[in-house]
Structure 1
Amino acid sequence: MPKKFKGGNPKAEAAKARKEEAKVEKAAKAEREKEDAYWRSLEEEDKHAMKKGQRKAEREQKRLEASERKAANAELLKAEEAKTKGKERAEKVTRASIARARDDEKATAAAAKKKEEAERPIEENPNRLVADYVTKEGIVEARSIDEAVAALSVDEGGASDMHPEKRVRAAYAVFEARELDRLKAENPSLRLSQLKQMLRKMWAKSPDNPLNG
């Protein structure tokens, strides 16, 4: 009959110990895996939260930038409107200044003209001057060629030979009758007195004037 050992089978004890150790190791491994999975999930959540926060921050940044651009554009528009209004006001002021300057210029010119007219010496009546000249020179006025020829014919009767001034009167009568109509046609806006003044000046230089002979 085999002898029983009081302490048990060492091999069986060793196998049992290894089994227990493997079980503990398996449980520890499962716990580690569980813990790793937990931390990985936390990391994923953190990453997701970080991305979400980043996206939110980016949206907020874009919103701020858009708001700043809008405000800058509004300020620029306001400045442009102020500049335009300022230019319009300046143009209005300039136009008003020009209008006032023109009015002042017209008023000054009118005042100067009025003063000049007031200080201008009174001229003698040209009709009277012509009449005095005709009387002084003894000129016979003729209003037509026939009257001039008649006056010249009278002088040619013999009296003019003794009085040269009568020849002058007769010659002027012919000169006036010939030139007056031409002057009227060339100067329709002039008065008769002005035309006769022109005739007097022409007569003074005319070869028809006996005094120029």
Structure 2
Amino acid sequence: MKTAPLTLYGYWRSSAAYRLRIALNLKGLDYEQVAVNLKAGEQTTEAWLAQQPQGLVPVLKHGSQALVQSPAIVEWIEETWPEPALLPSAPADRAIVRGWAAVIGCDIHPLQNLRVLKAAAALDGQGMDSMKAWAQRWMVPGLRALNDMVRTAKRPGDFLWGEHPGLAEVYLVPQLYNARRWGVDVEEFPTLLAADIAARALPAFIDAAPENQPDAEAG
């Protein structure tokens, strides 16, 4: 049976869209990309709000079905194409890995989303300096705690949970990309950094990297 086409609407530097590119690549799935230029404000247009009323990316279209919110979409991808698995087989182990992903997806990333950073900058009028300070304020303790969690429960292997990248790296690699962008010293998180380096050497992650996207800006 022919599979309905996949179309990913996103932005090259959106970490939520970055997650989906990684997940799709790890599954070996073909997909088309359509850029929504957040810098130019395309997410606020009437046409985009008709698709995503929050004015956010990404959206993944599967045929005529449009899916929103990257955590739900990643879980849908995992359920629809279960091999290669992004999660461990045991329920307790899956809960641990989902918990690590949630540290990023629920606690760290929402506080350094573009619209939140812009709001933080507007509060004191310091612009980019305020955005950087705000991003670091929430990323550093969150990543420090996650590094401790992983170090305590880590399985042998190059990745956060063993020998193969999975859901944890789907969230980790985009978050460390953002951390570097905002001047966070990622050397402080050696367990996370080791998995990030191992993952970014793989084709699925190289192809998903922001700088390798069709809409990437130079510099």
> What TM-score do you get using the length of structure 2 for normalisation?
0.21
- Structure having the higher helix fraction is 1
TM-score (norm 1): 0.21
Q: Which protein has the bigger strand share?
A: 2
Q: Which has the higher contact order (CA 8 A, sep 6+)?
A: 2
